Structure 1
């Protein structure tokens, strides 16, 4: 298969892929609620003559049987859910979200449309495909426990005999026509914690008669900043961040409690466990020292995204042929964001990569989860063709 031909075909489909993306962008749905999104995907796949399975309540898997009989099974994955966020941005005005407080500000509409473009490319040359291609349209990437985990737990993909799985994410730091990837560790495991510091409410003018949980929270936040710097090997990436503090109601009232939410980012459960224990020990110490109390919850999130070496090499080789060597960026360090694509990699060889989608002229250089997040739609030429080309790469 000449990959340049796939790119030429993708160019001819660009307007259709853009139209699908904008339709999905107008009608975003939250994690595990993607019923209309799923119906749209199923309709598009069936029009291409691709059989559809429904292992979960939302999302689906398109099954394309190639014309060359073989045991080879290649899975391609896109996520379909949106974020609970109100979007902004003049560049998106023609297709702004119609669902209040819900928006595709992480690119999942683009991932879905890109995969439908890939399905169209491959459906027209199915006679040249060895074995089977699975198009996974996965729900719930943005919310624990993760749609990837739920799908793997059904056993569906195992029964299908998946040999390798590939996925991508839009990437505002690179322009369309470029990709970034890394062999080995690519993205961190995103665990979450909740701490409630319980004091004794009172009048702000009489702090000696109260136990101030705001002071407790201040001490707690400052102290956990040393967990990484003093407990983790400096060569090991790790992050502890408090993302939300909720406490108090007025300038002259000492509240009874303060709630905090935070995240821990690491590349191994052993380090995550150590950080979890240190966070709880800090909460306990602060509470006991001030005469207060605490509660602590820790939710293990997705595993780290660890790319299989040969699968990542397949992405690199295919992208180099399609885009040229100068447009394939090899990341020197992993990033600390998380992705539930990692659950698939617990079961199968696989590679995840970043698709350049940022350009100042189209307002598409904002970071993931920003209200103005957008993608430059020229990225579909690269994305659809590259995902299609991976079907023709070897299994080792």
Structure 2
């Protein structure tokens, strides 16, 4: 009797594994089938970029596409969209997230579908993110009868502008009713060749702390500097000294950076500026390092302004927490990619990046993971870095991205539903 039961159990387990593999193969085939549609969508979005909380036409298009798939959708956080696809059960809920905003950049790619909105560009690949999550929606719609739970599609505005749109989507209930149990996302990576994905447990992207700094001196005639407190000189001393904070106060084995990205001051060649305004950012993979850089910056600004008799106002405008991937969530991504495209399709990233991502905010509520999708291909000019006015991606990668997202969702619901 025991041996008979054992054989029966082994047979059921074998059938389950075979079913899962067959379903993943179907998902891969569906990604191939929907590839041309994803390309069309990516190019539509690319030609019509909209910046943070201005993604009006973008969200209309997303809702229209979800409607064609008979997926219920609703608007949130001004321009965000939530889509809901229920399978055979209401719970558990697994979510997929895409950012939808563009950047204030003038595109110079010369692509036939280049930006029609002057001074706006999808230079971080959010156009392809939207297309792939919609592609995953097409795939999951087609296997709806096999889904042991619900899929929530989160199309989030304003990822590029701290504090980001994730906060607003979460406040609007994106993670509730019923609660999301796991969430997945991806981000394109021009440093990984097409055909591969990059994964990393724990910290994948840095904590970000953005600041504004105003230095106030005393303006006057350029010929009488002794009667003034030159705010440009003070600001230049601060910028110069700031470069030593990370190199001399932070452990070299830690990852941290302090960048002052803009400086504005002065109105004429013969007028000593009374005020200078600067914008900067502190980033690090360890919260202690970020706080140490913050403290060092404050002490250095105080010392330099006091030495010159100037005053200052330092304002912290926004922050993103570090993006920490849950290892269990990563396993769903890794196993899915292995079964779909082979073990060589997965690259394990040695170090986290110092870029910021407000997908991290969702991970403060539920387990989840983001993977990097390789989009590098010299043949199509997909070699430029994010935020470049020449940025482009290899659209072939969208087959892999949409299939891995859909497969990870299916596997999660199959195991937890």
TM-score (norm 2): 0.90
How far apart, in 2, do the equivalents of 1:298 and 1:148 lie?
Answer: 19
Structure 1 counterpart SS, 2:52: coil
Query: What does the per-residue CA deviation read over 1:347-371, in whole Å, with 9 as the maximum and x for residues that have no partner?
Result: 0000011111121121211111111
CA 1:145–1:300: 2 relative to 1, 3 Å: closer
C-alpha distance in 1 between matches for 2:90 and 2:81? 24
Q: Does 1:21 align with 2:42?
A: yes
Q: Equivalent residue for 1:229?
A: 247
Long gaps (5+) in structure 2:
1-19
Deviation at 1:122, TM superposition (A): 0.9
- The within-5 A match list for 1:180-191 is 180-191=198-209
Q: What's the CA shift for 1:269?
A: 4.2
Note if contact 2:254-2:286 (Cα within 8 Å) is conserved in structure 1.
no
Higher CA-based Rg: 2
**1:66 maps to 2:84:** no
Q: How many Å separate the matches in 1 of 2:52 and 2:172?
A: 18
Q: Which digits, 9 at most, give the CA deviation of each residue in 1:202-235, with x for residues without a partner?
A: 3333322221122211211122222223333333
For 1:102 and 1:73, the matched residues in 2 are separated by 35
Q: How far apart in 2 are the matches of 1:161 and 1:203? A: 63
Say whether 1:256 aligns with 2:277: no
SS at 1:197 equivalent: strand
1:52 aligns with 73
Query: What secondary structure is seen at the aligned counterpart in 2 of 1:370?
Result: coil
Contact 1:276 1:298 in 2 (8 A): no
2:328 alignment partner, one of 299, 310, 314: 310
**Aligned partners of 2:254 and 2:289 also within 8 Å:** no
Matching residue of 2:304? 286
Please tell me whether the aligned partners of residues 42 and 127 of structure 2 are also in contact (alpha carbons under 8 angstroms): yes
Displacement after TM superposition at 1:280 (Å): 2.2
Structure 2 distance, partners of 1:333, 1:145, is: 24
Distance 2:64 2:236 in 1: 53
CA distance in 1, matches of 2:163, 2:351: 27
Do the aligned partners of 2:35 and 2:398 also contact (CA within 8 Å) in 1? yes
Residues 183 and 308, structure 1, Cα contact 8 Å, conserved in 2 = yes
2:105 aligned to 82, 85, 89, which one?
A: 85
Name 1:320's counterpart in structure 2: 338
Q: 2: CA distance between counterparts of 1:123 and 1:311? A: 22
SS of the residue 1:301 aligns to = strand
CA positional deviation for 1:300: 3.4
Aligned length: 393
Residue 63 of structure 1, CA deviation: 0.6
Post-superposition CA distance 1:35-67 (Å, at most 9, x none) = 111111111111111111323321211111113
| C-alpha distance in structure 1 between counterparts of 2:113 and 2:404, whole Å | 26
Write the deviation string for residues 8-29 of structure 1: whole angstroms up to 9, x where unpaired: 2211211111111111111111
Distance 2:82 2:178 in 1: 11
Output the aligned Cα RMSD: 1.6
- Give the TM-score, by structure 1 length: 0.95
Counterpart position of 2:59? 38
Cα distance in 2 for partners of 1:296, 1:281 equals: 11
Q: Secondary structure at the match of 1:83?
A: coil
Aligned positions of 1:113-132 closer than 5 A: 113-132=131-150
